[in-house]
């Protein structure tokens, strides 16, 4: 990717004004990630300091925060969930952490703030762009990535780059009012550059929706969306509900082939330390929490989900493995999930 110094400046020095020269940022993400090199550059710009660790480790997190005297950190994906599912301990307070960027802004954000005594922010960013969506402190509603910051235009469009109707899901595309404020292409790959920057807007490849207040909500990576029997399903929303179960440590929802055509939903999960879970009980937990067509057909329990160095789940590996031996099939178990009619009489 081709980036300018102004790109890094625009993505850090302007959006995150709550950080000052007195802050120290704990970097627990790789340096090829915007949460690594981008944060490093930003703290240098404002005269702050950094502490670098090799990786995020749940059990050592708070001792590292205290030892390094870090005041701010980025928590991606399940990092926050891992911390909250640890037993309460004296290290929950007195550590010095003041602020955290939490992505995504899940249901447990308020609990994270209350338990650990730090303020929460969220947003949406990629290495290619420059922190275009940001929230206020301790934000709501849950799941929001915030609103476009000053200097950014954001649109949601269909496959023809035509703007979708309000409330509909579309691909997020962006442009900035400052030249060189975002990437200017992919090195040695003019075709990819042309695709990403077509019509003068950067195409993120991410599906979003916007509420009536202008808050943007991440729905899914376009490539990870699941289509089941005529319904489009967000793997992100499925994973959020599955992870709400106290026995679940992490989850990944993917599409697998169906004998009826299109897709079925498979969710791979790992369990919290010491927890046990009957997949049928998980299905019972999910039925009242989500639309009938979203409830996974298959559940696979694994020791750990495959992850990249930036803690993103490698879903392509889960999809490739498919319905592996030992995968629970709720239909074979006799658990049928059907649409409920509002006001329909219930059988005795």
Give tens-digit pLDDT for 188-247. 999 999 999 999 999 999 999 999 999 999 988 888 878 887 778 888 889 989 999 999
- Strands (E) across the chain are located at 24-27, 49-52, 72-76, 99-103, 119-121, 123-124, 133-134, 144-148, 152-157, 170-176, 202-210, 216-221, 226-228, 231-233, 248-257, 263-271, 298-301, 328-329
Let me know if residue 345 belongs to a domain. Answer: no
Q: Look at residue 226 in the predicted model and tell me its pLDDT.
A: 85
Q: Are residues 143 and 231 in the same domain?
A: no
Let me know if residue 338 belongs to a domain. Answer: no
Q: Are residues 206 and 237 in the same domain?
A: no
In sequence order, the β-bridge partners of residue 207 are 171, 220
Let me know if residue 135 belongs to a domain. Answer: yes
Q: Are residues 161 and 242 in the same domain?
A: no
Q: Are residues 170 and 50 in the same domain?
A: yes
Q: Are residues 30 and 155 in the same domain?
A: yes
Residue 15 CA, distance from chain mean position: 19
Q: Which of 201, 220, 239 is the last residue of a domain?
A: 220
* Cα–Cα nearest to 277, from 250, 258, 253, 252: 250
Q: Are residues 189 and 278 in the same domain?
A: no
Q: Look at residue 340 in the predicted model and tell me its pLDDT.
A: 65
Q: Are residues 93 and 210 in the same domain?
A: yes
Q: Which of 220, 245, 272 is the last residue of a domain?
A: 220
In sequence order, the β-bridge partners of residue 209 are 217
Query: Is there a contact between 27 and 39 (Cβ–Cβ < 8 Å)?
Result: yes
Q: Are residues 279 and 163 in the same domain?
A: no
Q: Are residues 196 and 69 in the same domain?
A: yes
Give tens-digit pLDDT for 297-318. 999 999 999 988 767 788 989 9
**Region label for 262, one of left (φ > 0), alpha (ψ between -120 and 50) or beta (otherwise):** left
- The two tokens of residue 308 are 């990249």
- The two tokens of residue 242 are 């599955």
Let me know if residue 334 belongs to a domain. Answer: no
Q: Are residues 240 and 134 in the same domain?
A: no
Let me know if residue 95 belongs to a domain. Answer: yes
DSSP state of 129: S
Distance CA 20, CA 31 (A): 22
Q: Which of 220, 255, 277 is the last residue of a domain?
A: 220
Q: What is the CATH number for 53?
A: 3.40.50.12780
Q: Are residues 266 and 120 in the same domain?
A: no
Let me know if residue 347 belongs to a domain. Answer: no
Q: What is the CATH number for 260?
A: 3.30.300.30
Let me know if residue 340 belongs to a domain. Answer: no
Can you give the pTM of this predicted structure?
0.77
> Which residues of the chain have a pLDDT value below 70?
260-261, 310, 340-348
- The two tokens of residue 221 are 């990576």
Q: How many domains does the chain have?
A: 2
Let me know if residue 82 belongs to a domain. Answer: yes
Q: Look at residue 344 in the predicted model and tell me its pLDDT.
A: 44
- Give residue 262's domain range: 225-329
Q: Look at residue 261 in the predicted model and tell me its pLDDT.
A: 65
Q: Are residues 214 and 231 in the same domain?
A: no
């Amino acid at each position: 990717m081709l980036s300018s110094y102004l790109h890094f400046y625009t993505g850090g020095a302007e959006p995150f004004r709550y950080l000052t020269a007195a802050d120290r940022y704990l970097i627990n993400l790789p340096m090829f990630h915007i949460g690594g090199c981008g944060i490093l550059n930003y703290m240098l710009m404002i005269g702050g300091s950094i502490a670098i660790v090799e990786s995020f480790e749940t059990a050592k997190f708070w001792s590292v925060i205290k030892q390094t005297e870090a005041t701010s950190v980025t928590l991606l994906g399940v990092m926050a969930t891992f911390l909250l599912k640890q037993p309460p301990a004296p290290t929950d307070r007195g550590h010095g952490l003041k602020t955290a960027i939490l992505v995504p802004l899940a249901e447990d954000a308020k609990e994270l703030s209350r338990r650990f005594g730090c303020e929460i922010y969220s947003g949406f960013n990629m290495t290619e762009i420059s922190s275009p969506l940001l929230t206020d402190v301790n934000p709501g509603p849950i799941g929001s990535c915030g609103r476009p910051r000053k200097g950014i235009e954001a649109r949601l469009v269909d496959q023809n780059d035509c703007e979708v109707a309000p409330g509909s899901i579309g691909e997020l595309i962006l442009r900035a009012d400052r030249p060189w404020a975002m990437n200017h292409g992919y090195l040695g790959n003019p075709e990819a550059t042309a695709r990403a920057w077509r019509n003068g807007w950067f195409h993120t490849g991410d599906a979003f929706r916007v509420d009536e207040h202008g808050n943007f909500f991440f729905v899914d990576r376009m490539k990870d969306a699941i289509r089941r029997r005529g319904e489009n399903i967000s793997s992100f929303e499925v994973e959020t509900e599955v992870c709400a179960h106290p026995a679940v440590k992490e989850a990944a929802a993917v599409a697998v082939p169906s004998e009826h055509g299109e897709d079925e939903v498979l969710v791979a999960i790992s369990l919290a330390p010491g927890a046990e879970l009957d997949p049928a009980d998980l299905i019972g937990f999910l039925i009242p929490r989500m639309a009938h067509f979203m409830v996974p057909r298959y559940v696979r329990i694994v020791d750990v989900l495959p992850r990249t160095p930036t803690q993103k789940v490698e879903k392509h590996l889960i999809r490739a493995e498919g319905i592996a031996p030992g995968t629970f099939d709720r239909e074979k178990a006799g658990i049928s999930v059907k649409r409920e009619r509002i006001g329909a009489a219930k059988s005795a």
